Structure 1
Amino acid sequence: MGTKVMIPLCPGMMEKHGSIGIFGTGDFGRSLGSKLMQCGYPVIFGSRNPGDASLLPRGAEVLGHIEAAHKCSVIIVAVQREHYGFLRDLEDVLEGKILVDVSNNLSMNQYPDSNAEYLAQMVPKATVVKAFNTVSAWALQSGSLDASRQVFVCSDDSKAKQQIMDVIRAIGLTPQDKGSLVMAKEIEDYPLQLFPMWRLPIYTCAGLTVLVFLYCLISMVIYNAQKQVDVSYYLMITIPNKVFPIVSLMLLALCYLPGVFAAIIQLYRGTKYRRFPDWLDRWMLCRKQLGLVALSYAFLHAIYTLVIPIRYSVRHRMEMSVINQVMQNTTRVLEKPLTWRSDTYLALGILGFFFYVVLGITSLPSVSNAVNWREFRFVQSKLGYLTLVLCTGHAMFFGWNRFLLPSRFNWYMPPAYTLSLVIPCVVLILKLVLIIPCIDTRITKIRQGWERSPSNKSEAKLKTYSVPL
């Protein structure tokens, strides 16, 4: 007879210690079992109907709960909390076993305690580990684990937790130790949060959008309406095509403003070993999301701009300009300064949008994981500021000298484009101050561990934490 050789299919394979049991034959149990088998782990499914194995992975052993528990030292409980009752009858069999709770709830704070803690109380002779609840069955089936590779793990038993973390690494996922089982409730709430890091960026974007839209509505549509001029059609293309670039540039500047504030605070304190204010911490943590929302508005601006030549109002205005020149027997002379301004404005916009897209692409997990920290920081910091300069120049050349013309101030309101320049100009001016050699040198020393003591004579221990601008 030939020898059967099992070849591991996943990276990070290690020596296996017995079969892994899975209680539950639903979508997640089947998907996780299939993934474990692909990576060389023998899997035994515990089912109340062991005779019905039509949907289970081929090659998996299917037994009753008691028989499966006897043969496995690690058992993944892939059933919901309300179905844990059958485990009470297995309390003696499960003594010394590792039970991995993968359940989630339908809503946050659905129960007073976490599912994992409830399971530990129900089966006190077993060791409970919370894991795998942040991974979807679809991701396990399709192999699309880039966006959900991280797995939170917690348990009161460090050896059991380490054993499960080894299994997680072996199937291509990244475990993160969250400590003892009291953290299970936080881990179970994590998948139920709807875009937690996107709330502040979206609220900020929505607020700025409403304010800029109302500003344009008053200064353009309502102002002309009181003069008996109907330009209500501006609401469809003209005003949105002003709102999107203005808000986009503001949001891009807001991505870099907290880094400037952080540098100023560290410079003032003379140390990096003190926490930033909570509002600044939250702001800095959502910079990526702010940038992606800004990029989406820049995309909308680009698309709206492309349709300008086919708009009826624009074509009508161009035709009337030609007819007036013919009727007056005049020719509009090509103005070189206006040509330079127009081409410069367009060139800066194109280059700014290009680097905008580069920033957005490098923020994606699949791309950022392929570059080292120095490369990522170069793109997000150096190229980020270059993008901010190009986009700010684009807005400046668009407006040119309109802010100096009284005819452009409707009801004493400056042209809308000037709104977009306030925050970017503040950021760029502060950044220029911070890169002055004497100031930049001091900030660099602080971020390398230097501290200003009351006597100005001592230097602190070196630590690794620093905040990129």
Structure 2
Amino acid sequence: MKIGIIGIGSIGGTLARKLSESGHEVRVANSKGAEAVRPFADEIGAIPANAHGAVKGAELVILSIPLAAVVELPKDLFDALGANAPIIDTGNYYPDVRDPRIAEIDDGKAESVWVSEQIGRPVIKAFNNILAHSLTELGRPPGSPDRIAVAVAGDDAQSKTLVMDIVSQIGFDPVDGGSLSESWRQQPGTPGYCCDYDAKAMRNALEQAVPGKAPRVLQEVFSRFGQLGPNPSHADIINMNRSVHSDD
């Protein structure tokens, strides 16, 4: 499959590496142009591109950039993308930590609904509720008892199925997170966010999410994270993410 990836940070870069290793034709891009991503592309066996080059002819696009960068994407970026090619949004909204305030999201709009409106295309929400370390190191074959789940939300059944297949290919159990308007259930501060749950526990966590509660919980997460010290282990972070809900 021809896959374009815009953004090669901890999540986008890991997905690029894994998908290239799986045999897909991967084009990678960031805001600085093709030459800026060439060393990384050469390292993982991908093709360096600018944003338009990553999207043109792609059968799947992964958008892995901060929300503030979404509004800076070229308005014609997806004009050459086929109507049936899914766009995965991996992003999360971290107000006052990384992102400027976005009033619509603060008022309750699901983050990926906002992203879809900005780019003028439907998106599938995925890979936003897993830590980069988990994505890099903890993928397992299908049927493994310790296989971690990744929630996938979206409105188009065909696109969602394709994305769920990709999730499984790179070592994780896909869990249907519902429609895009329900993707708030996997946003930061919710019970299913970055807890390394298996599929059953992830489904339960998505069901347990309470509208409007996540922003307050996220502030508690930030507070507790600061108490973990300068070099918290992966286990420390997972345990903290789980405990903030069990203690609530």
TM-score in terms of structure 2 length: 0.63
| Distance across 2 between alignment mates of 1:194 and 1:62 | 30
Superposition map of 1:32-111 within 5 A: 32-48=15-31, 49-52=33-36, 53-56=38-41, 57-85=43-71, 86-94=73-81, 96=83, 97-106=85-94, 111=106
Letter in 2 for 1:152: A
- Residues 110/71 of structure 1: CA separation in 2 closer, same or farther (3 Å cut): same
Name the SS for the 1:172 alignment partner: coil
Q: Is the 8 A contact 1:22 1:46 kept in 2?
A: yes
Larger fraction in helix: 1
Shift of 1:107: 5.7
| Distance across 2 between alignment mates of 1:171 and 1:178 | 19
Shift of 1:140: 2.5
The answer to whether the aligner puts 1:143 opposite 2:138 as a matched pair is yes
Shift of 1:93: 2.6
- Residues 45/193 of structure 1: CA separation in 2 closer, same or farther (3 Å cut): closer
- Residues 37/193 of structure 1: CA separation in 2 closer, same or farther (3 Å cut): closer
Letter in 2 for 1:28: I
| Distance across 2 between alignment mates of 1:193 and 1:78 | 17
Partner of 1:282: none
Shift of 1:87: 4.5
Shift of 1:123: 2.7
Superposition map of 1:215-364 within 5 A: none
Deviates more, 1:166-175 or 1:184-193: 184-193
- Residues 64/123 of structure 1: CA separation in 2 closer, same or farther (3 Å cut): same
Superposition map of 1:88-237 within 5 A: 88-94=75-81, 96=83, 97-106=85-94, 111-112=106-107, 113-124=109-120, 126-143=121-138, 149-189=148-188, 190=190
Shift of 1:50: 1.0
Identity of aligned residues (%): 24
Larger fraction in strand: 2
Q: Is the 8 A contact 2:66 2:91 kept in 1?
A: yes
Name the SS for the 2:59 alignment partner: strand
The answer for unaligned runs of 5 or more in structure 1 is 1-17, 196-469
> How many residue pairs were aligned?
178
Q: Is the 8 A contact 2:185 2:192 kept in 1?
A: no
Letter in 1 for 2:20: M
Letter in 1 for 2:122: T
Q: Is the 8 A contact 2:105 2:111 kept in 1?
A: no
Shift of 1:143: 3.5
Q: Is the 8 A contact 2:20 2:44 kept in 1?
A: no
- Residues 122/93 of structure 1: CA separation in 2 closer, same or farther (3 Å cut): farther
Q: Is the 8 A contact 1:155 1:179 kept in 2?
A: yes
Letter in 1 for 2:159: A
Letter in 1 for 2:124: V
| Distance across 2 between alignment mates of 1:99 and 1:35 | 18
Name the SS for the 2:88 alignment partner: strand
Deviates more, 1:148-157 or 1:182-191: 182-191
Letter in 2 for 1:172: G
- Residues 81/95 of structure 1: CA separation in 2 closer, same or farther (3 Å cut): farther
- Residues 67/106 of structure 1: CA separation in 2 closer, same or farther (3 Å cut): same
| Higher RCO by CA contacts (8 Å cutoff, separation 6 or greater) | 2
- Residues 123/144 of structure 1: CA separation in 2 closer, same or farther (3 Å cut): closer
- Residues 149/81 of structure 1: CA separation in 2 closer, same or farther (3 Å cut): same
Residues 13-66 of structure 1, C-alpha deviations (whole Å, 9 max, x = no match): xxxxx2111110212111111111222222111223210222344211111111
Superposition map of 1:454-469 within 5 A: none
- Supply the RMSD in Å over aligned alpha carbons: 2.8
Partner of 1:294: none
Name the SS for the 2:87 alignment partner: strand
| Distance across 2 between alignment mates of 1:62 and 1:191 | 37
Shift of 1:129: 0.5
